[in-house]
Structure 1
Amino acid sequence: MAAATGLRALLESVRYEVLPAKATEDGVLARVPRDVVVTVTASPVKGLEPTLRLTERLAAHGYRVVPHVPARLLRDEVHVKEVTARLREAGVDDVFVPAGDADPPAGAYDGALPVLRTLTELGGPFAHVGITGYPESHPLIDDDVTVQAMWDKRAHATYIVSNLCFDPRVLGEWIARIRRREVTLPVYVGVAGPVQRTKLLAMATKIGVGESTRFLTKHASWFLRFAAPGGYAPQRLLERAGPALTAPAAGVAGLHLFTFNQIAETERWRRAMIDRLGG
């Protein structure tokens, strides 16, 4: 009963990650309640502008919106100030600052920490600042380095968003590990929504040839998990990871649901899970 209550609370403290595509705004307006936080990704190919425009529009509709502001898409400190001013004008008080995948970087920043320090030097214009965590090994960075990076960034951030993880044991061990390392920031656990492989492939082909290739190359293992017989189901992951996610010492603040722009399906699944858990 306690685990069910804890999972229900996490499903009610949810963030929906969406991509800034043509139909995204209408999809959010049609399906997403105003009390659900919406985070907007940024493309290394298309740059920050689509992210900023969608953030402004959704904020104007009354949503709490969290734009992704990858360090490697920022040119310099002047650009950081310009983006900050624009977001503050839109009423944004929360940003997510990953390193990003742009290669080469757009300017002076090749990682998140210098951008986070710049925001601190600007007086902390955002009340909430998120950084990335990697429960499953990063393809290019050693695990100890990613944990150390969270420690280095903790003075400039207010929460962590974990990258996708499909293994409840790995997820629980990672949370315990960062707590042992005295990384105390609250965590939003990254979970893929109820994604159908065919729709994921269709989405990937819509985001531009170069971007699609990058997406499919980087996330090839995802398709195997989604396509396997009896493969990925978000409810199964959450139920198995439930004790680790809901333990008070875990410091899990909520779920960060990767919708892959399957917004209607994700919200339908979330409501059904809450009802099933007694909400």
Structure 2
Amino acid sequence: MALLNFRRKDAPAAGSPETVEAFLKGYSIEVMPRTAEKVEDFREILPAGTRVYIAHIEGTPIEDMVATAKRLHAEGFPVMPHFPARIIKDKATLADWIARYKGEADVKQALLLGGGISTPHGDFDNSMQLIETGLFDG
């Protein structure tokens, strides 16, 4: 009698329904406010509980970002807005964004990143500097 069975299990075929279903479970998506406006109701196209990242592209007003987060939260989705360091002017602006996301859209998590531009518009050059402000500590 063998104590361990090292026989390789047969994997499902690459395009099998089981493989596709396993791949699609637990995914997240990313939207921008301007594209979110084109979707009447995300509940009609996404499974409940799908995490939705909201990309903050340079030039997008914070009001549009918060409104998108608020809407998605109201539709029952966990939202995670981007905080692109290089477009955030200073610590006061960062504090305002955090307060607005928490207060208006009940945001509980954020994705901190450097951002898509190469030259900072303010005090921050990278995501670590955002963390070092202490504003995300609680």
Shorter chain as normaliser: what TM range? 0.7 to 0.9
Larger-Rg structure: 2
How many residue pairs align between the two structures? 123
* Equivalent pair of 1:45/1:102 in contact (CA under 8 Å): no
Residues 70-110 of structure 1: CA deviation (Å, up to 9, x unaligned): 11121111111111111112211111111012354231111
Task: Find the aligned partners of 1:65 and 1:54 in 2 and give their Cα distance.
Answer: 9
Ranges in structure 1 where 5+ consecutive residues have no aligned partner? 126-279
Task: Find the aligned partners of 2:135 and 2:67 in 1 and give their Cα distance.
Answer: 23
Cα–Cα, structure 1 residues 50 and 3, in superposed 2: closer, same or farther, change >3 Å? farther
Alignment correspondent of 1:227: none
Alignment correspondent of 2:57: 43
TM-score (norm 1): 0.39
Q: Is 1:21 the equivalent of 2:34?
A: yes
Judging by fraction of residues, say which structure has more helix.
Answer: 1
Structure with the bigger RCO (C-alpha within 8 Å, sep 6+) is: 1
2:107 aligned to which of 53, 71, 92:
92
Identity %: 24
Task: Find the aligned partners of 1:80 and 1:2 in 2 and give their Cα distance.
Answer: 51
TM-score (norm 2): 0.73
Residues 134-153 of structure 1: CA deviation (Å, up to 9, x unaligned): xxxxxxxxxxxxxxxxxxxx
More divergent stretch after superposition (47-56 vs 69-78): 47-56
1:137-156 equivalences in 2 (<5 Å): none
Task: Find the aligned partners of 1:84 and 1:114 in 2 and give their Cα distance.
Answer: 15
* Equivalent pair of 1:35/1:63 in contact (CA under 8 Å): yes
Q: Is 1:30 the equivalent of 2:44?
A: yes
Q: Which runs of 4+ in 1 moved over 3 A?
A: 1-10
Ranges in structure 2 where 5+ consecutive residues have no aligned partner? 1-8, 13-17
* Equivalent pair of 2:83/2:112 in contact (CA under 8 Å): yes
User: 1:18, CA displacement in angstroms?
Assistant: 1.3
Aligned-CA RMSD value = 2.6
